[in-house]
Structure 1
Amino acid sequence: MAVLSIKYKFPENFWWGAATSGPQTEGRFNKKHANVFDHWFDIEKEAFFNGIGPNVASNFYNSYKEDIKLMADIGLDSLRTSIQWTRLIKDFETAEVDEEAVVFYNRVIDELIKNKIIPVINLQHFDLPVELYDKYGGWESKHVIALFVLFAEKCFELFGDRVKNWITFNEPMVIVEGQYLYQFHYPNLVDGKKAVQVLYNLNLASAKVIAAFKQSKCAKQGGEIGVVLNLTPAYPRSQADEDVKAAAFVEDFFNKSFLDPAVKGEFTPSLVQTLQADGVLWESTPEELMIIKNNTIDFLGVNYYQPRRAKSKEVAWDIEKSWMPNKYFDDYEMPGRRMNPYRGWEIYPQALYDIAINIRDYYNNIRWYVSENGMGVEGEENYRNADGLIEDIYRIDFYEEHLTYLHKAIQEGSNCFGFHAWTPIDCWSWSNAYKNRYGYIAVDLATQIKTIKKSGYWIKNVAKNNGFS
């Protein structure tokens, strides 16, 4: 019998996994506190697609055993999910735990390990406790940073004997953009100065958690900690100086503002100079900057979905307006670009290669992995065949294109150790709810019955062969 040759073979022990989060899967069952999205849904249901909120999500709180078994059945060897601050902690000021939540997370971690799935645990996935926003201003407050460190320390203490891969934040830039600039996360503010302070505070919070991790038993037993950043390479409209400058600022603000402190321990000088000149630079202390300097990540997670394209301003920024990063660029819609029409995002797999080479050349070739990549599609029920299988061939094509570029970068020396799809099982997604589905596994919201899609069988073969043809 002929042996199938694998054209795109990946490094030994390469992760083939997926990513999700607590607030998007667990539901609010037995949860004593509300996060900002729970609260937003409680006060404004109409802001969520079809009025579907996080109360049930994909029912992971009740069906985690069956869900994890399905993940194992499709060959996943690693899963990133998160521990909800609002579930684990009873008293935020003292970090007293809710024992019921401790039992739940212990069972989830043990079930993953039992199914030979590596648990990758994230500490913050947009789910700030709303009472800490109401009381202190959330991430605007350095006291909230201190409380977050207490929560992280409790997680390391309770679960660090089994969890060896930790993440401080998922996509911290999205907190800045959604809550303080572009009004797609509660409380939907538009305040550039606050946005910049929050950007700094999130970097500080990540570094302080890393410092606490270094003192934990988990670190001493070989555990590692990183951060997950959504990197969206900024491409200029043209090579004209003004377009190149516009794209450079986009790169500084939206990518390097978290990537540089995480890997290099310092902020990008050109960004600092711009913010200082505009009178919006964050408040910091020399002691805080040393904490950031001395507590960089062990590994990096990169979420990649789409590129950014920038052009010079067509109309000068109105200086009467409050400060916004858009003072320095306009978004550019490149003619002929490929689009995911359901999400409104450009499809550009080559950017994953560009990210990988950038990390290789300018970020110490740090160990990194693709922590999210995926294609959200509306109306996937329309793709069911006569046997009930969702034939999401478009998703398989999307992944294979991206993996082809990733493979090329690895061949050229980029230190990538894994690929996580978003997401294992269709999950609730903030104000989009279930509008766009991303999973290898479908969920019927009415019955909570879960079924493997064609892409689920595809990833099983990819994982088994450590590559594809």
Structure 2
Amino acid sequence: MDKNLLHAQEGFRPDFMWGGAIAANQAEGAWDVDGRGPSQADIMLLPDEYSRLGSFGENVTREEIERALNDKQGNYPRRRGIDFYHTFASDLEMMAEMGFKCFRTSFSWSRIFPRGDEGSPNEEGLKFYDRLIDKMLELHIEHVMTISHYEMPTYLITEYGGWSNPKLVDLFLKFAKVLLDRYQDKVKYWIIFNQVNDVYGWGEFAGLGILKGEHANQEQAKFQAVHHQFVANAKTVEYAHSLNKGLQMGMMLGYTSMYPQSDKPEDVMAAYQLNQKESYFFTDVTVLGEYPGYMKRYFKEHDINLKVTQDELDTIRRNTVDYIAFSYYSSSVVSADKPNEQQANNHLDASIWGWSYDPTGFRYAFNNLWDRYHLPLFVAENGLGALDKVENGKIHDSYRIDYLRQHIAAMREAVKDGVNVIGYASWGPIDIVSYSQAEMSKRYGYIYVDLDDKGNGSGKRLRKDSFYWYQRVIQSNGEELE
């Protein structure tokens, strides 16, 4: 036998998809243009005084939505984004200059169905995505399109109760069918729900559209809503594969590598169980097609009684996803003393936002997901938010290069471990409004956008040092990282 048959892959595959990722709600702006309706992102106010370690929109009331939609004076950064709605062509050309092989973005649900329950879509909204997708085709950039990325129309929240209402399944499927019918010949890679497990990270509002104080049992409402998303996910996969078996339908996980705080068996078990509940539950259902035993036990012990039919479970079982997309930024530790809490790792440095740097945790994530599921993996987000300074027209962001260099090197080690990694879309290739703090000043991009937290600035785009570094990374297929 040729011994090379048992040698590990040394580097990235020749068709590896290098690129970047953004979300419509953080970039497009034009929140009330061409028939678009308000979405959950448009109510996120950035106050004059706020905590850099805080988050907005984790728990929202009906009154807060009404107040925000009537507020004409407040600072709502996601309403303006970076005006990607009008600048996408030139922005994509800059990404093509870097050598992008793929670009991940999302559809704005309320741009296509302004309320969410209309009988027919808003054609002007679809025409925007026609232009966007065709421009990517022109530049030979592979589309990775997210159907739902925290963009639910506010009407579906206030009038339907968000995903806690089973009617959302059919309303979402109508939305997904419009996209799949229109773009099946142009878009191969799809992500159905962004970070479907972020019901823990951002609370019930961002991912599920559940309002605060409107359910007697908030946890049951949360898991009922999650179940409805699982059903919608499976029905979307089923419809997509009926159209074109070549369409690649992915689920997306927000992944944080969780370690036990010590070598005590109780800490090890606590970390494993939290990882099950906050991460693997969502992949087990969408990838393996069934509810895992540990969650059935959790439901029983916490008196959570979901309305579930056998037909729904059969639909979930038959229609599993084709690949796993995941985001990764940092890791955490878990202890038996605080089994439901992710804590900072004292062995790691952290950003000013408290996110630990852990490239080894990235490799750990790849191996965990591959060993458990053996599906292709796509990095849908990875990056460093920082406060960039413009000095004589230049941005010297060596800190970002260092973060990305270490993480890409860790990803390459995972490939050598035998993990099938098909692409890497760093977050975000151009500065956009951050989700967690609604700041413009928390910057991730290779491309600087001259706008501040209040929307002041020229909007001019500038190439950072990391722009040219990532260009070399792509040209060398991940071999040149210095």
- TM-score, normalization: structure 2? 0.86
Partner of 2:383: 374
Partner of 1:21: 23
**Residue 400 (structure 1) shift:** 1.0
> How do residues 147-166 of structure 1 correspond to structure 2 at under 5 angstroms?
147-166=171-190
1:148-188 CA distances to partner (integer Å, 9 max, x unpaired)? 00000000111212111111011122245424399998845
Partner of 1:423: 428
Whole-angstrom distance in 2 between the partners of 1:185 and 1:291: 24
Opposite residue 39 of structure 1, the aligned amino acid is I
**Residue 234 (structure 1) shift:** 1.7
Partner of 2:14: 12
**Residue 281 (structure 1) shift:** 4.5
Opposite residue 348 of structure 1, the aligned amino acid is D
The answer for unaligned runs of 5 or more in structure 1 is 1-7, 315-327
Q: Is the Cα–Cα contact under 8 Å of residues 205 and 211 in structure 2 kept in the other structure?
A: no
Q: Structure 1 residues 158, 91: closer, same or farther in 2, change over 3 A?
A: farther
Whole-angstrom distance in 1 between the partners of 2:207 and 2:121: 32
Q: Structure 1 residues 230, 239: closer, same or farther in 2, change over 3 A?
A: same
Q: Is the Cα–Cα contact under 8 Å of residues 35 and 114 in structure 2 kept in the other structure?
A: no
Opposite residue 398 of structure 2, the aligned amino acid is I
Whole-angstrom distance in 1 between the partners of 2:112 and 2:354: 36
Partner of 2:6: none
Partner of 2:255: 231
Whole-angstrom distance in 2 between the partners of 1:366 and 1:403: 20
**Residue 374 (structure 1) shift:** 0.5
**Alignment partner of 1:192 is 2:197:** no
Describe the SS at the equivalent of 1:174. coil
Whole-angstrom distance in 2 between the partners of 1:165 and 1:260: 21
Whole-angstrom distance in 2 between the partners of 1:352 and 1:331: 17
Partner of 2:351: 340
> How do residues 324-339 of structure 1 correspond to structure 2 at under 5 angstroms?
328-339=339-350
Partner of 1:38: 42
1:306-345 CA distances to partner (integer Å, 9 max, x unpaired)? 113110126xxxxxxxxxxxxx43433333321112x211
* Range that drifts further, 125-134 or 85-94: 85-94
1:247-278 CA distances to partner (integer Å, 9 max, x unpaired)? 12211111012111121111221122122111
**Residue 44 (structure 1) shift:** 4.6
* Percent identity of equivalent pairs: 28
**Residue 57 (structure 1) shift:** 0.6
2:103 aligned to which of 79, 89, 99: 79
Q: Is the Cα–Cα contact under 8 Å of residues 121 and 167 in structure 1 kept in the other structure?
A: yes
Q: Is the Cα–Cα contact under 8 Å of residues 231 and 303 in structure 1 kept in the other structure?
A: yes
- TM-score, normalization: structure 1? 0.88
Whole-angstrom distance in 2 between the partners of 1:185 and 1:136: 9
Whole-angstrom distance in 2 between the partners of 1:395 and 1:376: 8
2:91 aligned to which of 67, 72, 80: 67
**Alignment partner of 1:436 is 2:442:** yes
Q: Structure 1 residues 184, 150: closer, same or farther in 2, change over 3 A?
A: closer
Whole-angstrom distance in 1 between the partners of 2:206 and 2:476: 43
**Residue 283 (structure 1) shift:** 2.5
Opposite residue 15 of structure 2, the aligned amino acid is N
The answer for unaligned runs of 5 or more in structure 2 is 1-9, 46-64, 452-456
Q: Is the Cα–Cα contact under 8 Å of residues 207 and 296 in structure 1 kept in the other structure?
A: yes
Partner of 2:400: 395
Opposite residue 404 of structure 2, the aligned amino acid is Y
User: How many pairs align?
Assistant: 438
Q: Structure 1 residues 107, 331: closer, same or farther in 2, change over 3 A?
A: closer
Q: Is the Cα–Cα contact under 8 Å of residues 35 and 122 in structure 2 kept in the other structure?
A: no
Whole-angstrom distance in 2 between the partners of 1:249 and 1:84: 35
**Alignment partner of 1:92 is 2:121:** no
Whole-angstrom distance in 2 between the partners of 1:398 and 1:188: 37
Partner of 1:455: 466
